Structure 1
């Protein structure tokens, strides 16, 4: 028993951390210490990644271990995606664990001064708003706590082996996301978007619960292993004998569950809520909502498709054919409607719908090659998507010192929490911060599938696996939509690089002189005035640099990523006795 629980010990760490933060929130009086909670959350996630990595090799040998009465299980597949979720959550917390801007003073950056001297600003209030120390994201104690609740639900969902635990894990994850969207109390757009998300998410949960109830009412089981065994027996035996009269209800029950799951990840034709929610909630929250929920639910769908792909609604049509239809609609709708968008987060929402079409296409094929392409596509898109949203947040912080008279402020709602909302706000940004603009362009090129970036190899793997199984029409649709979607990606790049900006540096910062004292061992060494030399903080710079280099330099290190996705797909298809 200790052996099995030890492979899931980071779950105990997460639960204890959640309760500790909950207790500390109730006892805290100062709201400005939330930035320290984000740093504590980063330490927790780092340690969870370390524990999950250690357990990865044990579960590889055993090919999966059931825990907690077989309500959950751990395997190399679940551990791998646990690490992905923890890593992305760590990147999201990194945006609120440090102040976004810093004041640069070159003479203080020497090794001796950094170690043995202290720089003291005499008028801190003068620059507090510029560095954004008083931003709303740094005064919400509950942010880290709610985020850890969502991470806990996602980890439990990926490891669920019972229909009841799947539903409860989805609800734990969803409730945290609803709260996260509405956590900015002073934002009217955030509150309305979270209410929309809650109502439609509750509707999706009803579909999932109805499908589970039908399965239990007709088969009397909720454990997935028992469900799979009954399905395989009913498939092998002659249906004319009527030994399994309730078998006809199974494909429709699974269809109901699939509809609820597709609703949760905003795949077409259940996508209509996604652009409004993405655009209304703060960008920092959008970064988390757009990735974590989709990863966990797609892994659940992967296991559901693998074990039930032989269940037919009609003679020649399996229930997974509905995923092919959703893939076709997601590819076309996400591409065509994305062409008409002028708000950046709505465009990224339709981009996500289009990319879900590629993942659903690979998922519904259900071969070793297609599952390998699905796993690789999910990992690379999660990294690229997080990088795109982090860059958007960073651009908003870098433009805090500028004023643009050409922007219609009536179209920019809740500017403090989402500074960049319109594509026109990116006009000529290359001439303000060329490195950040170049990083954003690389990420967008990867979305478009331009070689030799990471996104190109992901799409190529999906097309190759689809052609191998004879899905020629869907492959052609995928190629066409990939080419068409490049139009709105290239439009953003053209706006940043080839248009001229109308931003004006604020006059009050040009004349700003901040008195400061350099001390050593409590003795004044130097007294001087600092100029307004502000730059993006290292937390943003390092994160964007690492993620952009991963996307850009993938062609020089492809073996590790491809071998990992290949091993995980083989582990899913090959029994443990062969391994």
Structure 2
């Protein structure tokens, strides 16, 4: 369905003359993702009866875990596409806002600048097309079970992300950020390609199942009995022990280590994080929302099965490639927290916040117990939702400030104000006095990042820390607790700016008393007579945020808040997926 829809959109883009019709392409992509979610949900029950289905000769492996997160990616993506699938602002007239009149009348208003109908994000017809490419790569990567399909999937996803980052042609910052992303992404792809090459050279197979079997056999060769399978094979064939050196698991471990470096680059985990703050800050906020979430979900779910099946051996080796993940987790916790303290730009702060949270995710992934995998699945889902809500609120705040002006020097010197209206933490100063509801939603999201009970972020951190303590990772648990407390400093600084400072914004006097005119007409009438058309005059304060934006923010904020009242569904799903992984 995704590939067919992508080809259809590609053909439609080729014959489109008006670029301002991009909003309809985004709506088509939303319908495609809804249908794909339905298809994936129906096939989930078939896969759940078995323990997975191999596809295309073993290139892909569909399981309950992969299908669940494919549906999750579809839902997250269609939520992001709402930002370009509907206009950001609308006219709200109380006397024409009843359900009866909403369906019977149309409001015709042609002042597109105030409603932001000519915003650059509504003129890029390639945007939904590239997003479908990226989602296709993400879906393939989640289900990949062969070295060939892994590399093709990650490149399909990555090249779409590079294009998406530079999609705003007139933006110098976006072009430089996308170029940085492309160059360092190409470097990480070199590590992935080198790792896959070494795996094939040392194992003789590209199938991950075969590599897992060889790893287990090589583990068995290091028993303490003094007689092992490798010695028996060498004796029976009159071979030297050195002829079977490829059989040792250290070679495969080193190959996995190099492979993991490439993927840690892709998710911007420390010490390979240096590109993400610059890229997040340079590209438009609407694009950042997609880049910051989807790539991480697909790579971590692929990592889940890779870590589980390659480190769950019968005998413990002195060296395991998953040790690198623990080191990366420790560095991510420290670097994401310490460097975040000095940030004054909001998207750079979000980037370091993401790095800090990646430390929790990597810690849960490396422990590799039923409890930790449950915590990993739950943490990944809740953080994706919280991060999505945070970025959508930032975008909505930018759309809501058209009525105000800011004469401060630092605001006047901001570049790319049209693509990213909110760039500085100080721009949120006193926003509670402008829009209390939106300020409260952002506060809820930030408190969830901190891990304040009873929000969903608290339960996620508690599950990871509990799994770490149960498995003996006491030092990592202490570091995670300490960094969580320290990171609360820069989160609470945002709260202070919003609630306890006076705003620098003033109502724009040029449009304060401006009278706007529109026509109210009945629906489904081809020829409108003068009696059937009514002129309407309204003020600028009747222009509000659009319903898709407000409904999305409300739903995501409610999920964060009311989790404590409905925890069973989330926790049961994470627990079932973890049990399925350990029982296969």
2: CA distance between counterparts of 1:530 and 1:80?
47
How many pairs are equivalent? 559
- The CA deviation string for residues 378-402 of structure 1, in whole angstroms up to 9 with x for no partner, is 0000000000000000000001221
2: CA distance between counterparts of 1:519 and 1:329?
61
SS at match of 2:281: helix
Question: How far did 1:118 drift?
Answer: 3.2
- The CA deviation string for residues 507-538 of structure 1, in whole angstroms up to 9 with x for no partner, is 22222112233334533353332211111000
In structure 2, relative to structure 1, the CA distance for the partners of 1:201 and 1:410 (3 Å cut) is: farther
Query: Which residue does the alignment assign to 1:266?
Result: 268
Query: Which residue does the alignment assign to 2:238?
Result: none
**Unaligned regions of 5+ residues in structure 2, if any?**
223-227, 232-240
1: CA distance between counterparts of 2:409 and 2:553?
27
1:179 has 2:163 as partner: yes
1: CA distance between counterparts of 2:70 and 2:102?
38
Question: How far did 1:314 drift?
Answer: 9.9
- After TM superposition, the structure 1 stretch with the greater mean CA deviation from structure 2, 225-234 or 198-207, is 225-234
Query: Which residue does the alignment assign to 2:235?
Result: none
In structure 2, relative to structure 1, the CA distance for the partners of 1:308 and 1:144 (3 Å cut) is: same
Query: Which residue does the alignment assign to 1:90?
Result: 78
SS at match of 1:66: strand
Query: Which residue does the alignment assign to 2:300?
Result: 298
1:333 has 2:335 as partner: yes
Correspondence list, 1:53-72, <5 A: 53-72=41-60
Question: How far did 1:539 drift?
Answer: 0.8
Q: Contact 2:220/2:315 (CA < 8 Å) preserved in 1?
A: no
Query: Which residue does the alignment assign to 2:23?
Result: 35
Question: How far did 1:216 drift?
Answer: 1.0
Query: Which residue does the alignment assign to 2:560?
Result: 551
1:107 has 2:95 as partner: yes
Question: How far did 1:68 drift?
Answer: 1.2
Correspondence list, 1:314-329, <5 A: 316-329=318-331
Q: Contact 2:108/2:520 (CA < 8 Å) preserved in 1?
A: yes
2: CA distance between counterparts of 1:88 and 1:224?
29
In structure 2, relative to structure 1, the CA distance for the partners of 1:262 and 1:411 (3 Å cut) is: farther
In structure 2, relative to structure 1, the CA distance for the partners of 1:309 and 1:448 (3 Å cut) is: same
1: CA distance between counterparts of 2:517 and 2:372?
62
Q: Contact 1:311/1:318 (CA < 8 Å) preserved in 2?
A: no
- After TM superposition, the structure 1 stretch with the greater mean CA deviation from structure 2, 25-34 or 311-320, is 311-320
2: CA distance between counterparts of 1:314 and 1:204?
29
- The CA deviation string for residues 436-487 of structure 1, in whole angstroms up to 9 with x for no partner, is 0000000000000000000000000000000001110000000000011111
Pick the aligned partner of 2:536 from 528, 541, 544. Answer: 528
Correspondence list, 1:40-439, <5 A: 40-121=28-109, 124=110, 127-238=111-222, 241=231, 242=241, 244-246=244-246, 247=248, 248-309=250-311, 316-409=318-411, 411-439=413-441
Query: Which residue does the alignment assign to 1:459?
Result: 461
1: CA distance between counterparts of 2:212 and 2:43?
27
In structure 2, relative to structure 1, the CA distance for the partners of 1:261 and 1:27 (3 Å cut) is: same
In structure 2, relative to structure 1, the CA distance for the partners of 1:130 and 1:527 (3 Å cut) is: closer
Correspondence list, 1:489-500, <5 A: 489-500=491-502
Q: Contact 1:33/1:141 (CA < 8 Å) preserved in 2?
A: yes
Question: How far did 1:178 drift?
Answer: 0.1
Query: Which residue does the alignment assign to 2:577?
Result: 568
Q: Contact 2:219/2:315 (CA < 8 Å) preserved in 1?
A: no
Question: Displaced runs of 4+ in structure 1, greater than 6 A?
Answer: 311-314
Q: Contact 1:428/1:500 (CA < 8 Å) preserved in 2?
A: yes
- After TM superposition, the structure 1 stretch with the greater mean CA deviation from structure 2, 59-68 or 230-239, is 230-239
- The CA deviation string for residues 520-560 of structure 1, in whole angstroms up to 9 with x for no partner, is 45333533322111110001000000000000000000000
2: CA distance between counterparts of 1:330 and 1:518?
56
**Unaligned regions of 5+ residues in structure 1, if any?**
1-12
SS at match of 1:399: helix
- When normalised by structure 2's length, the TM-score is 0.94
2: CA distance between counterparts of 1:46 and 1:424?
38
1: CA distance between counterparts of 2:550 and 2:397?
11
1: CA distance between counterparts of 2:18 and 2:456?
44
2: CA distance between counterparts of 1:381 and 1:163?
29
- The CA deviation string for residues 173-215 of structure 1, in whole angstroms up to 9 with x for no partner, is 0000000000000000000000000000000000010011111
Query: Which residue does the alignment assign to 1:537?
Result: 546
Query: Which residue does the alignment assign to 1:3?
Result: none
In structure 2, relative to structure 1, the CA distance for the partners of 1:411 and 1:366 (3 Å cut) is: farther
Question: How far did 1:130 drift?
Answer: 1.1
- The CA deviation string for residues 292-347 of structure 1, in whole angstroms up to 9 with x for no partner, is 00011111111111111157999534221111110000000000000000000000
1: CA distance between counterparts of 2:287 and 2:520?
38
Pick the aligned partner of 2:2 from 10, 14, 19. Answer: 14
SS at match of 2:462: helix
- CA RMSD, Structure 1 to Structure 2 (Å): 1.6
Q: Contact 1:103/1:535 (CA < 8 Å) preserved in 2?
A: yes
1: CA distance between counterparts of 2:392 and 2:315?
43
1: CA distance between counterparts of 2:307 and 2:13?
42
Q: Contact 1:407/1:425 (CA < 8 Å) preserved in 2?
A: no
1: CA distance between counterparts of 2:543 and 2:105?
21
1: CA distance between counterparts of 2:583 and 2:244?
28
Q: Contact 1:251/1:311 (CA < 8 Å) preserved in 2?
A: no
SS at match of 1:553: helix
- When normalised by structure 1's length, the TM-score is 0.94
SS at match of 2:443: helix
